[in-house]
Amino acid sequence: MSSHREAPEISKDPVADSTDVYAFVSPDAPGTVTLIANYVPLQLPSGGPNFYEFGDDVLYEIHIDNNGDGRADISYQFRFRTTVRNPGTFLYNTGAITSLTDPHWNRVQTYDVAVVSGGSQSTLGTGLPCPPCNIGPLSTPDYASLAAAAVNHLNGISVFAGQRAEAFYVDLGAIFDLGDLRPFEHLHAPVGMLGAMSGVNATNHLNVSSIAIQVPISTVTISGHPTIGVWTTASRRRVTVWDADRGETVLSGPWRQVSRLGNPLVNEVLIPMGEKDLWNSLPPADDKKFAGYITHPGLAGLLNTLYPGVFPHLAALVAAKKPRADLEAILLTGIPAGIITGFTNFTGPVLADMLRLNTSIAPATKPNILGLVGGDAAGFPNGRRVADDVVTIELRAIAGVTYPLIDSHFKPDGAAGAITDFASDPPAIGSRPIHTFPYLGVPYSGYNHPS
């Protein structure tokens, strides 16, 4: 998946497990950029009575690097607080929740937002309400309005934190079954006897916990540098002790980063298992030590093994052990000017996995879910929009489609440009994004999507 359960340790800690990061110029709010960080993966909508929530013991951050050194210049920090109004019932709610202050809502979560910049920390808002989870027509009869009321406007900044519909789409069931892509199943070495078929979106009808913030571009960029690097982190205190006598958890020590996410699929697919949790603990500025896994991706060799004879040009490239400077540019430095006419999101020579967004590029009037490789410079890997098909884009890039950017003599295999997780276009991604902040669709309710 993009980054759901991508590393052994963080897979056991879902409230701190970042799943996706999005960064795009807001299509309906010119002059602003929207940053979204999702956590708590694979939420079954009916997962009560203790429905999903953010961790009160987790520090969530969305970082911006605006000078290309792979370190945060601006960090938006989110801390959550859960209140149980009536500990005498097992129920999440004791009646219909019709407002964010409804007394029938028993387990309420609020949050504080702060920004760290230039060595100082400023509080942007305190006690901001999260919406409840979407339970069903009896408990949350007008969920869309309830969630809309949880969008907070703070002096030119909009923030939201709460459950939303999962927007990332991927055929997990197939792709983790020895790299099977159902549309190409007939070419797969171990299962070649099967016929081609369309992919199945494994994240359909699931929810995530989303943190979204919309800020003026002028507040996150510096003069002459319209491109920003974006990533999210989750941090925990160094020590956790379960005090059984008191029935409470004792937390102590400084915060330590346990989860990180910039570009989708980097830690998931490119970093080896033995280093995934280490990667999660480090800043993008330290990514030079992982660069070899990007410039010599194991998956490229695996494609040749799993689909014998389908990618002969890629096989030759892998055999020649040529570093994939195209992938390095896409994922670690941004694409320099002069490579793609009229486009750059280059941030300098520092190798750092960040979602790079050139904020001077206006939103597309007709977005292409294949983003830059589909001729749409407003989409991934120039930032990432909610509907961008990042799995297809990255698989095609790894298969060699983008290698001609640095070697015009290289001819990608025909199959490389046809790789897709889904035969249908656009794929069935379930809940459609909405067109206004916080953009992710209304979460699925447990009543309507019980399994």
Is residue 235 at the binding interface for other proteins, with CB under 8 A as the rule? Answer: yes
State both tokens at 208: 């995530």
* Alpha-carbon Rg for the chain in angstroms: 22
Nearer to other proteins, 254 or 338 (CB): 254
Distance between CA atoms of residues 284 and 69, nearest Å: 9
Is residue 252 at the binding interface for other proteins, with CB under 8 A as the rule? Answer: yes
Is residue 138 at the binding interface for other proteins, with CB under 8 A as the rule? Answer: no
Q: For residue 324, give the amino acid letter.
A: R
35 sits in the region (left: phi over 0; alpha: psi -120 to 50; else beta) called: beta
- Contacting other proteins (CB under 8 A), which of 65, 326, 394, 413? 65
State both tokens at 259: 């989860």
Is residue 237 at the binding interface for other proteins, with CB under 8 A as the rule? Answer: yes
Q: Of the listed pieces 119-127, 263-271, 350-358, 430-438, which binds other proteins according to CB under 8 A?
A: 119-127
Distance between CA atoms of residues 245 and 265, nearest Å: 43
Question: Which among 105, 109, 101 has a CA at the least distance from the CA of 86?
Answer: 105
> How deeply is 242 buried, as exposed, middle or buried, from its count of CB atoms within 10 A (0-12, 13-18, 19+)?
exposed
Distance between CA atoms of residues 352 and 332, nearest Å: 5
Cβ pair 3, 264 in contact under 8 A: yes
Is residue 239 at the binding interface for other proteins, with CB under 8 A as the rule? Answer: yes
The half-sphere exposure of 113 on its side-chain side, counting CA atoms within 13 A, is 21
Q: Of the listed pieces 61-69, 145-153, 379-387, 440-448, which binds other proteins according to CB under 8 A?
A: 61-69
Is residue 121 at the binding interface for other proteins, with CB under 8 A as the rule? Answer: yes
- Contacting other proteins (CB under 8 A), which of 255, 343, 410, 447? 255
In angstroms, give the least distance from the CB of 216 to other proteins.
20
Is residue 238 at the binding interface for other proteins, with CB under 8 A as the rule? Answer: yes
**What contacts 1, CB < 8 A, 6 or more positions away?**
19, 41, 168, 170, 172, 203, 268
Is residue 253 at the binding interface for other proteins, with CB under 8 A as the rule? Answer: yes
Nearer to other proteins, 77 or 402 (CB): 77
Nearer to other proteins, 12 or 256 (CB): 256
Nearer to other proteins, 233 or 368 (CB): 233
Q: Of the listed pieces 171-179, 252-260, 347-355, 357-365, which binds other proteins according to CB under 8 A?
A: 252-260
In angstroms, give the least distance from the CB of 401 to other proteins.
32
β-bridge mates for residue 108, sequence order = 83
Neighbours of 219 (CB within 10 A): 14
- Contacting other proteins (CB under 8 A), which of 250, 319, 337, 428? 250
Is residue 118 at the binding interface for other proteins, with CB under 8 A as the rule? Answer: yes
Element containing residue 74 per DSSP (H, E): strand 74-84
- Contacting other proteins (CB under 8 A), which of 71, 205, 225, 313? 71
Distance between CA atoms of residues 306 and 422, nearest Å: 18
Give the residue carrying structure tokens 């993009």: 2
Considering only residues 268 to 297 of the shown chain, the ones binding other proteins according to CB under 8 A are: 282-283, 285
x/- string (CB under 8 A) for other proteins, residues 174-213? ----------------------------------------
Distance between CA atoms of residues 281 and 257, nearest Å: 5
* Packed helices 298-306 and 390-398: angle between N→C axes, nearest 10 degrees: 90
In angstroms, give the least distance from the CB of 237 to other proteins.
7
- Contacting other proteins (CB under 8 A), which of 11, 46, 75, 198? 75
In angstroms, give the least distance from the CB of 39 to other proteins.
16
Nearer to other proteins, 71 or 432 (CB): 71
Q: For residue 357, give the amino acid letter.
A: L
In angstroms, give the least distance from the CB of 59 to other proteins.
7
Neighbours of 305 (CB within 10 A): 12
Q: Which residues bind other proteins (CB under 8 A)?
A: 59, 61, 63, 65, 67, 69, 71-73, 75, 116-121, 233, 235, 237-239, 241, 243, 250, 252-257, 260, 282-283, 285
